[in-house]
Structure 1
Amino acid sequence: MSSPLLDQVTSVKVKLGLLVAVSVTVASIVAAVGAVGSVPVWLSVPVTVALALGVTQLLAVGMTSPLREMTAAARGMARGDYSARVTASSSDEVGELARAFNRMAEDLAAVDRQRRELVANVSHELRTPLAALCAVLENLVDGVAEPDPVALRTALDQAERLSALANDLLDLARVDAGEARLSTTQVPVLELLERAVAEARVVGRDVRYDVQVTPPALTVPADPARLHQLIANVLDNASRHSPAGGLVQITAQTTATGWQLEVADEGPGIPAAGRDRVFERFGTLADADGGGGTGLGLAIARWVTDLHGGTIHFVDPAPRSTGARVRLELPHEPRQRTQVTRKVQEQVMTKPVDNPAQPVPPAPAATRAPESGMDMLFGKFWPDAGVPGKVAAVLACLGVGLLAGIVLPFRDLGIGTFAVLLAAGGAILAFSVNRQSRFTQACAALCLLLAATVVVRDAEWIAVLCLLAGGAVCVAGLVNGRTMPAFVLAGIAWPLAGLRGLPWLGRSAQAVRGLRSSAAALRTILWSLLGVLVFGLLFASADAIFAEWAGAIVPDLELDSFVLRAFITVFVGGIVLAATYLGLNPPNVEAGAGTARPVARRYEWLVPVLLVDAVFLVFLAAQATANFGGHGYVERITGLTYAEYVHQGFGQLTVATALTLLVVWAAARKAPRTTTADVAWLRGSLGLLCVLTLVVVASALYRMHVYQEAYGFTELRLLVDVFEGWLGLLVIGVMAAGLTLKATWLPRAALLSGASLLLAIAAINPDAWIAQHNVDRYTETGKVDWIYLQGLSDDAVPVLAKLPADVADCALAGREVSDDDWLEWNLGRHRAEPLIGTRPASTPTTCLTKPAG
Structure 2
Amino acid sequence: MPVARRPGHARVPSAARADRPGGGPVSDTPSTPSNPEPADAVGVPEQPEDAVPVPRRAEEGPRPHPDWAYPAGASKPEPLLADLRAEPPAAIRTGTLGAALATGLLSMMLLGDGLAINLLIVAVPAALAAYFAAEQAGRRPRPWTLAWAIGGLALLVVPALRDAGWPSFLAIVSAVALGSLALHGCRTWLGVLLGPLGLLDGVLSGIRWGWRGVRGRASGTRSGPVLRAAAVTAVLLLVFGALFAGADAAFAGLLGDLMPDASVADGPWRVLLFVVGVIGALAAAHTAASPVRWDRLTVGPGRARGRVEWALPLIVLNVLFAVFNVVQLAVLFGGYDAVLDTTDLSYSEYARQGFWQLLLATLLTLAVIVLALRWAPRGGPGDRTLVRAVLGTLCALTLVVVASAVRRMDMYVDAYGLTRLRVSVVAVELWLGVIIVLIIAAGVWGARWLPRAVAASAAVGVLAFGLLSPDALIAERNVQRYQDTGKFDLDYARGLSADAAPAADGLPEPLRSCALEGIADGLGAERGPWYATSLGESRARDIIAERPPTAANPMSCGQTRQEVAYR
Q: Does 1:829 align with 2:540?
A: no
For residue 362 of structure 1, give the secondary structure of its aligned residue in structure 2.
coil
Among residues 652, 669, 682, which one is paired with 2:387 in the alignment?
682
Q: Deviations over 1:142-183 (max 9, x none)?
A: xxxxxxxxxxxxxxxxxxxxxxxxxxxxxxxxxxxxxxxxxx
Structure 1 Cα separation of the partners of residues 281 and 437 of structure 2? 37
- The 5 A counterparts of 1:415-564 are 415-432=117-134, 434=139, 436-498=141-203, 501=205, 505-525=207-227, 546-552=254-260, 554-558=261-265, 561-564=266-269
Partner in structure 2 of residue 30 of structure 1: none
- The DSSP-based 3-state class of the residue aligned with 2:510 is helix
Q: Among residues 549, 558, 563, which one is paired with 1:839 in the alignment? A: 549
Q: Which residue number corresponds to residue 487 of structure 2? A: 783
Pairs within 5 Å for 1:101-140: none
Larger Rg: 1
Task: Supply the AA of the counterpart residue of 1:730.
Answer: I
Q: Secondary structure at the match of 2:257?
A: helix
Asked whether the equivalents of residues 99 and 129 of structure 2 are also in contact (C-alpha less than 8 Å), the reply is yes
2:88 aligned residue: 386
Separation in 2 of the partners of 1:848 and 1:522?
A: 69
Q: CA offset at residue 444 of structure 1?
A: 1.0
Partner of 2:471: 767
Q: Measure the CA separation in 2 of the matches of 1:843 and 1:744.
A: 62
1:400 match: 103
Equivalent runs, 1:725-764 vs 2, <5 Å: 725-740=430-445, 742-764=446-468
Q: Tell me if the contact between 2:126 and 2:284 (Cα under 8 Å) persists in the aligned partners.
A: no
- Paired amino acid for 1:847: T
What residue is the counterpart of 1:819 in the other structure?
Answer: 527
Alignment match, 2:48 = none
Name the CA distance, whole Å, in 1 between partners of 2:189 and 2:27: 44
Report the Cα offset of residue 508 of structure 1. 4.4
Structure 2: which amino acid aligns with 1:804?
P
CA change 1:779–1:455 in 2 (3 A) is same
Cα pair distance change 1:635/1:600, threshold 3 Å: closer
Q: 2:25 aligns with which of 358, 362, 377?
A: 362
Report the more deviating stretch, 670-679 or 431-440. Answer: 670-679
The 1-side partners of 2:314 and 2:199 are apart by 37
Please tell me the residue identity of whatever aligns with 2:87. Answer: A
Q: 2:319 aligned with 1:614, yes or no? A: yes
Question: How many Å separate the matches in 1 of 2:175 and 2:153?
Answer: 8
The SS at the match of 1:776 is: helix
2:190/2:297 contact within 8 Å kept: no
Contact map agreement 2:164 2:471 (CA 8 A) in 1: yes
For residues 456 and 404 of structure 1, what CA distance do their matches in structure 2 show? 20
Asked if the contact 1:80/1:365 (under 8 Å) is kept, the reply is no
AA aligned opposite 1:792: L
Match of 2:42 in 1: none
**1:100-249 maps to which residues of 2 (within 5 A)?**
none
Q: Partners in 2 of 1:663 and 1:670 — Cα distance? A: 11
2:218 counterpart letter in structure 1: R
After superposition, where does 1:307-326 map in structure 2 within 5 Å?
none
Count of residues in correspondence between the two structures = 494
Q: Which amino acid aligns with 1:81?
A: A
Q: Deviations over 1:444-473 (max 9, x none)?
A: 111111101121111111111111111111
Distance in 1 separating the partners of 2:466 and 2:395 = 29
Kept in 2: contact 1:391–1:509 (CA 8 A): no
Partner Cα distance (1:654, 1:647) in 2: 12
Q: Which has the higher contact order (CA 8 A, sep 6+)?
A: 2
Structure 2 partner of 1:229: none
Pair 1:511–1:373, CA change in 2 (3 A): farther
Distance 1:645 1:848, change over 3 A: same
Which of 508, 512, 523 matches 1:808?
A: 512
Q: Does 1:631 align with 2:339?
A: yes
What residue in structure 2 maps to residue 81 of structure 1? Answer: 16
Q: Does residue 1:852 correspond to 2:548, yes or no?
A: no
Aligned AA for 2:400? V
Aligned equivalents of 1:758 and 1:508: distance in 2? 34
SS at match of 2:496: coil
Secondary structure of the 1:458 match is coil
Please give the per-residue CA displacement for 1:455-498, whole angstroms capped at 9, x wherever unaligned.
11111111111111111111122221223322111123332333
In the other structure, the counterpart of 1:604 is 309
The TM-score with structure 2 as length reference comes to 0.76
| Paired amino acid for 2:505 | A
Deviation at 1:437, TM superposition (A): 0.9
Give the 3-state SS of the residue equivalent to 1:668 in structure 2: helix
**Paired amino acid for 1:764:** L
Q: Does the Cα contact within 8 Å between 1:802 and 1:808 map onto a contact in 2?
A: yes
> Taking structure 1 as the reference length, what is the TM-score of the superposition?
0.52
Q: In 2 relative to 1, CA 426–379 (structure 1 residues): closer, same or farther, beyond 3 Å?
A: same
Alpha carbons 1:479, 1:586 under 8 Å: kept:
yes
Residues in 2 aligned to 1:600 and 1:834: alpha-carbon distance in whole angstroms: 66
Q: Give the match's secondary structure for 1:550.
A: coil
- C-alpha RMSD of matched pairs (Å): 3.8
Q: Take 2:146 and 2:76, find their aligned partners in 1: how far apart are those partners? A: 34
In structure 2, relative to structure 1, the CA distance for the partners of 1:611 and 1:581 (3 Å cut) is farther
The amino acid across from 1:581 in the alignment is: H
CA contact (8 A) 1:414 1:824 kept: yes
* Identical-pair percentage: 31
Give, in angstroms, the shift of residue 795 of structure 1: 1.4
Deviations 1:678-707 (A, max 9, x none): 233222211110111010000000011011
Q: CA deviation at 1:530?
A: 7.6
Deviations along 1:419-458, one digit per CA (max 9) or x if unpaired, are: 1233333323432365511101011111111101121111
What stretches of structure 1 of length at least 5 have no aligned partner? 1-70, 84-108, 117-360
Task: Specify whether residues 803 and 601 from structure 1 end up closer, same or farther in structure 2 by C-alpha distance, changes over 3 A only.
Answer: same
